[in-house]
Amino acid sequence: MSVSPVSIPTARRRLGAELRRLREAAGLTGEQVIARVGWASASKLSRLENGRSRPDLGDVLDLLDTYSVDGPLRDDLVAVTRAAGDARAWLRSYPVMTARQRGYAELEAGCVEIREWAPVLVPGLLQTPGYARVRFLSSRPLAAGPAENTDAETEVAARLARQSLLTRDATPLRYEAVIDEAALGSRGGPPDVVRGQLVRLRELAARPNVTLRVLPRTATIGDWYLPHTGFSLYGFAHPQDPETLAIEGLSIHLVLTDRTEIDRYTAVFDWLREAALSAADSLVWLTDAAPWSPVPAPRPDSPRRRTTTATPEGVAPGTATPSAPAASNATAGPGALTGPPARRTREVQPHPGR
């Protein structure tokens, strides 16, 4: 069995899940295994089974001996252990990331499907350079320490490198996001940055492997359910790679593989998907929010005016872009489509976040 460098984090999770399965099949508790192999740290086995530490081949061989594993399965797990322990190629691929962004890149490596709920921020895999730069610089005063003081441009470059997962020619991953209308408003940055981000979302939404849904302000989620925070669900092709849930806060970052928790958040995502506009109507929403050039003819019920705002990313220089309508009377999906908010002419102070 061989594992490519980009799948190193996936290999660690696969190895951990298999070691846990073998321990449970042997009828042993974690404490019993620790006592038999003579490890000093009780947390060592937990970190290994959860894919959170670099596996040592000697330690894995001790566990395989304890579980009486031999033959092809033993050979396969030794190969996975060697691949999971070799992080050099992985680190060379992303040398400039903060610890937080590296964690997301590790989850994305090797996965085949991502589903995200974004109530406040445009997800990292969808961000333009300008939007990512604003997000990074706005949160810099809240950095926990020197490790987070990465140069903004190198951090933005690393984020853009992650986005190749969506646009690569060979097996691009399936991506679906429900984005709250509030996350697409003027709080996200200066007007040109926000408009450029909307143009980028319109481009990505047209790709066959990307599904974007806008959740209108007036939409009802489930039986009046209010999601607590944004989250991401990662699916992997190999049956031994557990589906993974990531929840991000300002200073707390949770990564969970517990099946009960995964099922709960999957149910919430299904409610959000049902409440949001369809993919087709969301594409119309994004087109109205940041129209393409040439400028479409004004509609009788939605007059447009030209603006002198700086040209956004994704729009050709010198092309006038109409401002977004203050409101729309159209309805689509479970909730009424209110349309994007009118763009303010002043720059809005950005807020920290992913």
Is residue 9 over pLDDT 60? yes
Of residues 212 and 300, more confidently modeled: 212
- Write out pLDDT tens, residues 273-316: 999 999 999 999 999 987 653 333 333 443 333 333 344 444 44
The percent of residues above 70 in pLDDT, for the chain, comes to 72
Give the three-state DSSP class for 192: helix
The H-assigned helical ranges of 38-184 are 43-49, 57-66, 71-85, 88-93, 99-108, 129-139, 152-162, 164-167
pLDDT for the residue 96:
63
The token duo for 173 is: 């991953």
Of residues 255 and 271, more confidently modeled: 271
- Write out pLDDT tens, residues 51-64: 777 788 889 999 99
Is residue 271 over pLDDT 80? yes
Determine the average pLDDT of the residues in 68-95.
Answer: 74
Q: Contact at 8 Å (CB) between 208 and 166?
A: no
Is residue 17 over pLDDT 80? yes
Determine the average pLDDT of the residues in 28-38.
Answer: 91
- Write out pLDDT tens, residues 168-191: 887 789 999 999 999 999 899 999
Q: Contact at 8 Å (CB) between 232 and 116?
A: yes
CA pair distance 255, 278, nearest whole angstrom: 29
Determine the average pLDDT of the residues in 224-232.
Answer: 94
pLDDT band at 95 (very low <50, low <70, confident <90, very high): low
pLDDT for the residue 94:
59
The token duo for 176 is: 């679906």
Is residue 109 over pLDDT 90? no
| Pairing status of strand 174-180 against strand 111-118 | parallel
Q: Contact at 8 Å (CB) between 114 and 236?
A: no
pLDDT for the residue 24:
93
